[in-house]
Structure 1
Amino acid sequence: MRAAYLEGRTIASLARDHGVSRGAIRTAVADLLPDHAAINEDSPAPELPVTLDMPGKVADFLRACELDPAEQEAPDQGVTVRRGQGYTLRVSAVPAVHLGLLARCQPFDGGQGAPAVPAQRKARREYENRVSALTPAGP
């Protein structure tokens, strides 16, 4: 059957000759089909973007920072959602970018001679909780 397919016989004619469905023939010759792409099981799955709500205080701080292009794109593409007195920025990015943005917010916790403002610490902690929910717990 595979040889006949390679010689140019159609899937429909092979199915008629063998008395099976076209799907069965496609399965049998799947690796010979032109649009068949071999799946490399060793390659990691690509990270998909995840949408998280970023507190406005965190977003304002990050906009004032020097960020990498990928990190800069995430807040710029975010959607502003009004929340009472402040706002939330709905950001879509891969988890690695969210982790990078969170790392940039370390000054909110004080240290390095900068005073820690409770509202900023809370905003960072909220974003940290959302980002940490993305990463699976270790073994």
Structure 2
Amino acid sequence: MRTAYLEGRSIAALARDHGVSRGAIRTGVADLLPEHTASGADAPAPLAVTLDMPSKVADYLRTTELEPAERGALDQGMTVRRGQGYTLRVSAIPAVHRGLLARCQPLDGGQGLPAVPAQRKARREYGNRVTALTP
């Protein structure tokens, strides 16, 4: 549970997974919480942000090699049906979202891959959401 928290899992998601209250999870990771480690002097740790990822981006990322935190965020994303397709609602810290965006760069074409307009548009859409996050 502590490892999953350090990899970016939210307290609420851990509580659901383990069938306990959020307070129980907070107690288990108390020494890892931002208010415990920052002690008011440093900037607080980044909070998880939920962004909708187009299905074309999510499908591509599922087939690529990812860091454990990126894979965890992608695997724990919630599928939201949209007409005939879907959107993946991903909760992660901004750094993980930026890493996922960087990994789907080939969808723009290049690196020997042809650009597919729908994939390029989906990547741009996710990119706009990620760049709107504060640094």
User: Which residue number in structure 2 is paired with residue 61 of structure 1?
Assistant: 60
- TM-fit CA distance, 1:113: 1.5
- Residue 134 of structure 2 is aligned to residue 135 of structure 1: yes
- Residue 43 of structure 2 is aligned to residue 44 of structure 1: yes
User: Which residue number in structure 2 is paired with residue 29 of structure 1?
Assistant: none
- TM-fit CA distance, 1:39: 3.0
Structure 1: 5+ residue stretches without partners: 1-36
Larger radius of gyration, structure 1 or 2?
A: 1
- Residue 123 of structure 2 is aligned to residue 120 of structure 1: no
Secondary structure of the structure 2 residue equivalent to 1:44 = coil
Identity %: 75
Q: Which contiguous aligned blocks of 4+ residues in structure 1 show a shift greater than 6 angstroms?
A: none
Structure 2: 5+ residue stretches without partners: 1-35
Deviations 1:75-131 (A, max 9, x none): 100100011121000000000000000000110010112100000000000000111
User: Which residue number in structure 1 is paired with residue 19 of structure 2?
Assistant: none
Instruction: Report the Cα distance in structure 1 between the residues aligned to 2:112 and 2:75, rounded to whole angstroms.
Output: 30
Secondary structure of the structure 1 residue equivalent to 2:44 = coil
Secondary structure of the structure 2 residue equivalent to 1:89 = strand
Secondary structure of the structure 1 residue equivalent to 2:87 = strand
Q: RMSD in angstroms over aligned alpha carbons? A: 1.5
Secondary structure of the structure 1 residue equivalent to 2:134 = coil
- Residue 94 of structure 2 is aligned to residue 95 of structure 1: yes
Instruction: Report the Cα distance in structure 2 between the residues aligned to 1:48 and 1:113, rounded to whole angstroms.
Output: 37
Q: Matched residue pairs, number?
A: 99
- TM-fit CA distance, 1:135: 2.4
- TM-score scaled by structure 2? 0.70
Deviations 1:8-39 (A, max 9, x none): xxxxxxxxxxxxxxxxxxxxxxxxxxxxx893
